[in-house]
Structure 1
Amino acid sequence: MTRTHPKDPLHGLTLEAILTVLVERVGWEGMGRAVEIRCFNVDPSLKSSLAFLRRTPWARRKVEELYLALTQS
């Protein structure tokens, strides 16, 4: 059982889990429109997106914001 931190809705979620949910809900094309980064728009893959987002804090923040917007509405 996963415990959640009361002030952080992303606590316990991996970046891979977040991306997987987003791909299932909006697809790569939708993610590319919402967050304009090359790894979503040109030959997208989970592996390349994870690598880019792990080393690019501003892009990761935008992806996390998109995830929260879609899951908390």
Structure 2
Amino acid sequence: MTDDLDYQNNPLHGVSLKQLVTEIAQHYGFKILYAYLNINCFANNPSVESAVKFLKKTDWAREKVEAFYLYQFKSLPRASNEQFELPPRDRIVPADQKPGLPAELSLEDGERLREKRAQKAALYDRAAAAPRAGAGRRASNTAGAPAADPADPWAKWRK
């Protein structure tokens, strides 16, 4: 029964998805939500109704928005590793942690964060592609002529 009491300390307890999206959209606006969360429902034809419709269908996006609500809008400290593995609605917030004032976020900071994420993703993509660059290639029979890659039907036409 103590888990139920601890669970009720979670700011998401009893808050509908529509209410949650309405609160954060009124406070931050859709541009800042898109800049920080990078979810297209906040950029393309943004409205509370369309965002809720998308978030109800998409678990990863809903969990991302709920985590934003907990840790940015309600300013809770980061969850423990065990709790962080759970979806935000299932996390147990210790009784000594109380929601605070919403974090001050700016569009400029959000854009910098998006750029940083894009750079990190590009580095990850390059690192993932590097081991595959030589994979599947056969040794060349003639000097200077590249070997045909069986995965690429146009490889023999390239010089």
TM-score, normalisation: structure 2: 0.41
**Separation in structure 2 between the aligned mates of residue 19 and residue 49 of structure 1, nearest angstrom:** 8
Percent identical among aligned pairs is: 33
1:54: how far off? 0.1
Partner of 2:53: 51
- Change in Cα spacing, 1:5 to 1:15, as seen in structure 2 (3 Å) is farther
2:19 match: 17
Q: Tell me the CA shift for residue 15 of structure 1.
A: 0.2
Deviation of 1:13 (Å):
0.5
Aligned residue pairs total 70
Q: Secondary structure at the match of 1:53?
A: helix
Which has the higher Rg, Structure 1 or Structure 2? 2
Q: Within 1, Cα distance between the matches of 2:62 and 2:51?
A: 10
Contact 1:5 1:11 in 2 (8 A): no
Quote the residue 1:67 is aligned against: 69
- Shift of residue 6 of structure 1? 2.2
TM-score (norm 1): 0.85
Which digits, 9 at most, give the CA deviation of each residue in 1:35-64, with x for residues without a partner?
A: 111110111011110110001000000000
Given the superposition, is the C-alpha separation of residues 33 and 5 from structure 1 closer, same or farther in structure 2, using an over 3 Å criterion?
Answer: farther
* Greater relative CO, 1 or 2 (CA 8 Å, sep 6+): 1
User: Which 5+ residue runs of structure 2 have no aligned equivalent?
Assistant: 76-99, 101-159
Structure with more helix by fraction: 1
Counterpart Cα distance in 1 of 2:53 and 2:45: 14
